[in-house]
Amino acid sequence: MIQKPKGTYDVYGKYGKNVKYVERLINALMEKYNYEFTRTPIFESTNLFHRGVGETTDIVSKETYDFIDRGDRPMTLRPEGTAGVVRSYIENKRYGEASVPVKSWYYGPMFRYERPQSGRFREFYQFGVEVFGTNDPLMDAEVISIPVNLYKMLGLKGIKVNINSLGDTETRLNYKEALLSHFKPYIDDLCEDCKSRYEKNPMRILDCKVDHDKDCIKNAPKIIDYLSSDAKEHFIKVQEYLDLMGIEYNINPNIVRGLDYYTNTVFEVEANIKDFGSQNVLCGGGRYNKLVESLDGPETPGVGFALGFERLLSALDAEGIELDNDTLDVYVIPMSENEKKSAFHLCNDLRLNGFSADMDYMNRNIKSNFKQADRLEAKYVIIIGEEELKTNILTIKNNNTKEEYKVDINNIIEFFDGEIDEHWYGTIWWLYISKKL
């Protein structure tokens, strides 16, 4: 039997419903924040990630899915979303648009060849945003507020927001010097990768998965102590704006992030839930004021974040949060072959009028049909038999209260309009019904 590749998973059943619920919430939230949806290819030139994410990061040096396409071009399945969105921003000359900032959001699969374990997959989904064109700390705070508000709306309580600043160019130069002199006496104790990181990019030593417990890493100088006065001021403002929104946070000087493009604010949200497991970083992001330039675009500040979709759903599960998934509005039962056409027609009408409807396709008897209606958690059941076809009066049963109603077939839609008023896609269906779509 062919099995799914290691580190991947299938979505179906209740999990599928929860995925769709959270996706709908994200869609609605991004509308409220006035972000535009962006989609970029799942594979891009390998070079984009080498230059964008950074040659010396674990993601690029060890975890990418690379392949040569049939035209001999080196391609990579995207390990994250930022590099592609930045490429698209530059290639489509979005820096020339009058409306600044450009605020975009995305959602889709990412690929990293990591050792699979709970909360860590080789194909996983990210929801993220990237904002271009402003260095205002207000935007850093807005970006941090997006995942925090999403978690809050879903009812997640155990979250901890950690923030740090990696400063500007001046900060980085001073800090690099400090790191080089700090690690010099310990070079021989470090792993082979870290020895090369020492030469190429000493900050990457700080997030080494092999050496991370060594004292020389724990006692390394912290970048926050080297912030330039501009960087310090920027960071203080971010905190003021977070305070304004009532978002609690910790300043955690150990957050350096595993990607090279960050400047100034960086942040991560951790799940603070008992027994959640070690893959507890629910999301991460920050500012990247040099990335657009480094990918041959004009000097443009940027800030964004991405959250792991699977980890979000696991966190909801760990806190025992049941998502309020909408259930089937109407289940239609034809009593025999003779009423099937009418049942089918009625289902179609109900669906086009904005109600979810399903019917019996299996010629069940009435008892097992009611069982099926219960399995589908149908709110109402309509039975169509010989008598109903003759009189055009249908029997509608409220599947919770067991109350019964006799309704003329021509008034069915009005009846449900009065009974069922909350629909996820209400607006879209209203537009459709009023022929505006």
Please identify which residue in 52, 137, 284, 297 interacts with ligand HAM, judged by CB under 6 A: 284
Angle, CA of 189, 164 and 311, to the nearest 5°: 85
Please identify which residue in 283, 347, 359, 378 interacts with ligand HAM, judged by CB under 6 A: 283
**Cβ nearer to ligand HAM, comparing 283 with 343:** 283
> For ligand HAM, what does the binding mask look like between residues 349 and 388, x meaning CB under 6 A?
----------------------------------------
Binding residues for ligand HAM, how many (CB under 6 A)?
Answer: 26
Largest CA distance in the chain: 94
Least distance between ligand HAM and beta carbon 71 (Å):
28
* 222 Ramachandran zone, left/alpha/beta (phi>0; psi -120 to 50): beta
Sign of CA dihedral 36, 258, 146, 13: positive
Give the residues across from 67 on adjacent strands: 75
Please identify which residue in 20, 120, 160, 214 interacts with ligand HAM, judged by CB under 6 A: 120
Three-state SS at 382: strand
> How far is C-alpha 293 from the geometric centre of its chain's CA atoms?
27
**Cβ nearer to ligand HAM, comparing 287 with 379:** 287
Calpha distance 289→291 (Å, rounded): 6
Question: Quick check: 226 and 167 in contact, CB under 8 A?
Answer: yes
Question: Quick check: 176 and 318 in contact, CB under 8 A?
Answer: no
280: contact with ligand HAM by CB under 6 A: no
> How far is C-alpha 311 from the geometric centre of its chain's CA atoms?
10
114: contact with ligand HAM by CB under 6 A: yes
The conformation of residue 120, written as its DSSP 8-state character, comes to B
**Cβ nearer to ligand HAM, comparing 257 with 397:** 257
What's the start-to-end Cα distance of the chain, in Å? 46
Contact range with ligand HAM by CB under 6 A, out of 25-33, 125-133, 189-197, 366-374: 125-133
**Cβ nearer to ligand HAM, comparing 49 with 370:** 49
270: contact with ligand HAM by CB under 6 A: no
Please identify which residue in 121, 127, 186, 198 interacts with ligand HAM, judged by CB under 6 A: 121
Q: For the stretch 322-337, what's the b/e string if a residue is b when 16 or more beta carbons lie within 10 angstroms of its beta carbon?
A: ebeebebbbbbbbbee
311: contact with ligand HAM by CB under 6 A: yes
> For ligand HAM, what does the binding mask look like between residues 136 and 175, x meaning CB under 6 A?
----------------------------------------
Residue with tokens 């998934």: 325
82: contact with ligand HAM by CB under 6 A: yes
Cis status, amide bond into 101, omega within 30 of 0: yes
> For ligand HAM, what does the binding mask look like between residues 222 and 261, x meaning CB under 6 A?
------------------------------------xx--
Please identify which residue in 128, 133, 167, 301 interacts with ligand HAM, judged by CB under 6 A: 128
* 116 Ramachandran zone, left/alpha/beta (phi>0; psi -120 to 50): beta
- Regarding beta strands 281-287 and 263-271, do their DSSP bridges make them parallel or antiparallel, or are they unpaired? antiparallel
Calpha distance 201→215 (Å, rounded): 20
Least distance between ligand HAM and beta carbon 370 (Å):
42
Contact range with ligand HAM by CB under 6 A, out of 98-106, 220-228, 305-313, 375-383: 305-313
Please identify which residue in 44, 142, 207, 310 interacts with ligand HAM, judged by CB under 6 A: 310
Rg value, the chain, Cα:
27
| Helix (H) / strand (E) containing 169 | helix 169-183
Contact range with ligand HAM by CB under 6 A, out of 30-38, 79-87, 223-231, 414-422: 79-87
Contact range with ligand HAM by CB under 6 A, out of 74-82, 96-104, 200-208, 313-321: 74-82
* Contact footprint for ligand HAM (CB under 6 A): 80-82, 112, 114, 120-121, 124, 126, 128, 130, 258-259, 281-286, 304-308, 310-311
